[in-house]
Amino acid sequence: MPRPKKRAACAPRPERLEVRLLLDAEPMGLDPIGAIRGAMTPFGLEAGKFATDHIIVRYRDDHVAQAKPHPFGMMPGLSLGTVEGLRVVGINPALGVEATLAAARRDPAVLYAEPDYLISAAVAPNDPRFPEQWGLSNPASSVATTGSLPIDADIDATTAWQTSTGNRSVVVAVLDSGVDYAHPDLAANIWTNRGEVPGNGIDDDNNGYVDDIRGWDFVNRDNDPRDDNSHGTHVAGTIGAVGDNGAGISGVAWRVSLMPLKVLDRNGNGSISSAIDAISYAYRNGAVISNISWGGTQYSQALRDVIETAGASTGHLVVAASGNSGRALDAPGSPRFYPASYDLPNIVSVAASDRSDQRASFSNFGQVSVDLAAPGVDILSTTPGGAYSFKSGTSMAAPHVTGAAALLKAIDPTLDAQKLASALIGSADRLPSLAGTSVSGGRLNVAKAVQEVRPQPRLRGGVVEVPANGEWTRVTLDESYASMVVATTPVVQPDGQSLVTRVRNAQGNSFEVSVVTAEGISTSAIPLSDGGFEVPEAGPNGSSGSYLYRPAGSAWSFAGTAGVT
């Protein structure tokens, strides 16, 4: 018998580098014009993400802002908020936002200028039947209520979609009754084996399967994994029906590559040997996640071995349904349900929850054998022939978790099975109604899981010598960043003189720094030998930290704050 399941839900997560870095500081002693000008070259704005008729400008002196002429086609604007000098400034449409920003940043009276970026509420797709998908988002009209308030029993998909809606580079195997790969809401997300030439009767990619263009049928041993039951197509739709395409429903992952692997016949029955072949096919042909919405009470060492091998070889994750017998799987004498109950770190076992955030009455549960719950009652998804239908079961819950895993993998392709499992389990919404029913005692929250794996902002450390003659010195970081801005603030005045650290050409993975007096005089008379520009790592959330310019042997220093966006 297998050992009790051990999970890594609470394992510490490594910090990850964000792709954008912002070093910021107090206004005194800043050289933001040079710093920002260097940081924004090339500028590059994404169309549709900012206002096109005005920008946001902060002037060094608001009185100057009111009195001075506004060059570059800018129109005098209204004060913005309570920050002195901050204004919304209209622009000349003929110049456009990018040109106006570049010009404004060269104006000595301007502290900074930026686009007025557009914001939006949580993303919801335009799929007409999305409002019926309560497991993804539950408006008050479609969910159970407590008094007049809806119960937040969904997985917060609309919030997660603000960060990622998926990527077709992520391949997910659907081991089931097949998939209707021609379904209008699935076709664009069906995996294609690009190493195979269709219809030539040759195993072009030498993987042991001839003309396996879109997966394989392990029941009938052919290259047509078409669904003749409906179960597999329903599962596939929850994972990855094409989102925001104006048709039908949305999958948890709007964009993903679904690999149909048929292991169940038209009656929903299959064999362990077919499943073993299918799992082997999946991880050897690029699938990083497999959904298994089936199982049984018979322990198969062979099935366990192939799942373990998939995890060890390629970091392959298996998401498995916990079963529909309403049993406590960990109770003495209670049969386990496999593969969900295998004690493997690359398996996530999923129970079903309902619209009231209760465990579904039919769902198996267990504080050791089950990891988390997900919506599994009255789930609307795709069915063969371009149709849609509602189904219930842990079979419907598991693909919610699989789709969530696909989103996480799209955000960070380096995540292996254990890290994916840790993020999914550790971020679940812990609920009194689900306490004791799983490792997490909670229900999937894909929005929180996304935050778990988003690259965490982190400043990279290092010290570089700055010569004592005021010349520019290049500081090179060990990562490349976009929109990098570096600024400094002198906090000690040697010999009564204010010193300014100047920064320029802050872009990519480097910037240049020099030190002068406030009057622009070289600091060659001040001992700066062996000094350095030191950038310690930021805090655990990457939101703040500090940096320090420290001349060796000197009683004064430059310091400021650091943050990352």
For residue 260, which of 248, 323, 237 has the smallest C-alpha distance? 237
Terminal C-alpha separation, the chain: 50
Q: For the chain, how many structural domains are there in total? A: 3
Does 176 participate in catalysis according to the annotation? Answer: yes
The two three-digit tokens of residue 146, written as one number? 């407590």
Q: Examine the domain organization and report whether 191 and 308 are in the same domain.
A: yes
Residue 106 lies in a domain: yes
Q: Examine the domain organization and report whether 463 and 447 are in the same domain.
A: no
Q: Examine the domain organization and report whether 437 and 467 are in the same domain.
A: no
Q: Examine the domain organization and report whether 364 and 425 are in the same domain.
A: yes
- Check residue 147 and give its pLDDT: 43
Entry pTM = 0.66
* CATH number, residue 196: 3.40.50.200
Residue 376 lies in a domain: yes
Residue 7 lies in a domain: no
- Check residue 117 and give its pLDDT: 63
* CATH number, residue 75: 3.30.70
Residue 484 lies in a domain: yes
C-alpha 45/C-alpha 41 separation (Å) is 11
- Check residue 518 and give its pLDDT: 52
Does 356 participate in catalysis according to the annotation? Answer: no
Q: Examine the domain organization and report whether 215 and 303 are in the same domain.
A: yes
Q: Which of 438, 453, 468 is the last residue of a domain?
A: 453
Q: Which of 381, 395, 427, 514 is catalytic?
A: 395
List all residues 6 or more positions away from 20 whose beta carbon is below 8 Å from its beta carbon. 457, 481, 482, 483, 484, 564, 565
Q: Examine the domain organization and report whether 480 and 428 are in the same domain.
A: no
Q: Examine the domain organization and report whether 437 and 530 are in the same domain.
A: no
Residue 260 lies in a domain: yes
Q: Examine the domain organization and report whether 391 and 367 are in the same domain.
A: yes
Q: Examine the domain organization and report whether 532 and 391 are in the same domain.
A: no
pLDDT under 70: residue ranges of the chain: 1-49, 64-83, 117-124, 139-151, 455-471, 473-565
Q: Examine the domain organization and report whether 445 and 363 are in the same domain.
A: yes
- Check residue 441 and give its pLDDT: 95
Does 353 participate in catalysis according to the annotation? Answer: no
Q: Which of 176, 357, 416, 429 is catalytic?
A: 176
Q: Which of 388, 418, 453 is the last residue of a domain?
A: 453
What DSSP string runs through 152-221? --S--HHHHTTT--EEEEEEEEEEES---TT-TTTGGGB---TTS-TTSSS-TT-SS-TT-TT-EETTTT
Asked if 342 and 336 touch (Cβ cutoff 8 Å), the reply is: no
- Check residue 413 and give its pLDDT: 93
Q: Which of 430, 453, 476 is the last residue of a domain?
A: 453
- Taking only the tens place, the pLDDT of each residue in 265-316 is 998 888 888 899 899 999 999 999 999 999 988 888 989 999 999 999 999 9
β-strand pairing of 489-490 with 50-59: unpaired
The separation between CA 391 and the C-alpha centre of its own chain, rounded to angstroms, equals: 29
Q: Examine the domain organization and report whether 32 and 107 are in the same domain.
A: no
Tell me the residue range of the domain where 64 lies.
50-117
- Check residue 118 and give its pLDDT: 55
Q: Which of 231, 234, 316, 400 is catalytic?
A: 231
Q: Examine the domain organization and report whether 40 and 86 are in the same domain.
A: no
